[in-house]
Amino acid sequence: MSKKQLLPITWEELKKYDGNPPPKALTRLPNINIAYRMYNKKLSQSSGVNANEFITKKLTNEYPSEYNIITKNKFPYYLDPQILHLVLWINPLYESDAKNTEQAIRGEIAAKLNDKNADFVLYENLPKHRSISTVRHYQLFVLCSVGKNDKIDKNDKNDKNDKKEIENKLLLKPMF
């Protein structure tokens, strides 16, 4: 019996989920899953709180005036290398604010990317697939530096969509 080969999630597959979360949880590499479980265990042992409580406190105490906060996903899904996986956290202090509707968030992301037609995917996981259940957050994916054959073109000095530039435009906060 052979094991099914794990393949990275493509941009075409992700685009199907824009505004419409996948019916099943997306895949992480096994080592990322292990690291995530170890992180949660260590967090609980060292601080006495679970990840939900930790993130709530982090958002409300460190970013009290920000409606939402974008970070890299510390435990990303297994994606093609030209896809940047981020998390947009809704600050619990402003959860019901009009600035945190999906439409408003999409506009804010496009404005930060300085492109009203920016190529990104945004969705909120179904409740049964949320590892952080008490803090609203969106999965945010941005397509970066694509050249011939949908691969990163490291020789293209004019490509404005490299990962570091996108991270800077989105004003990423440190990962939790």
The 10s digit of each residue's pLDDT in 96-138 is: 888 889 999 999 999 998 876 778 999 999 988 888 888 999 9
The 10s digit of each residue's pLDDT in 62-109 is: 999 999 999 999 999 999 999 999 999 999 999 888 888 999 999 999
Mean pLDDT (the chain) is 85
- Give the pTM: 0.84
pLDDT at 47: 73
Polymer length in residues for the chain: 176
- Please report the DSSP string for the chain in residue order: -PPPPP-PBPHHHHHTTTTS--SSPPP--HHHHHHHHHHHHHHHHHHS--HHHHHHHHHHHH-TT-SEEEEE-SS---B-TTEEEEEEEEPGGGTTSGGGSHHHHHHHHHHHTT-TT--EEEEPPPGGG-SS-SS-EEEEEEE----GGGS--TT-TT-S--HHHHHHHTTPBPP-
Smallest CA-to-CA distance from 74 within 29, 20, 25, 32 is with: 32
Share of residues in the chain with pLDDT > 70 (%): 88
Per-residue pLDDT band for 34 (boundaries 50, 70, 90) equals very high
Per-residue pLDDT band for 3 (boundaries 50, 70, 90) equals low
Does the structure show a pLDDT above 70 at 139?
yes
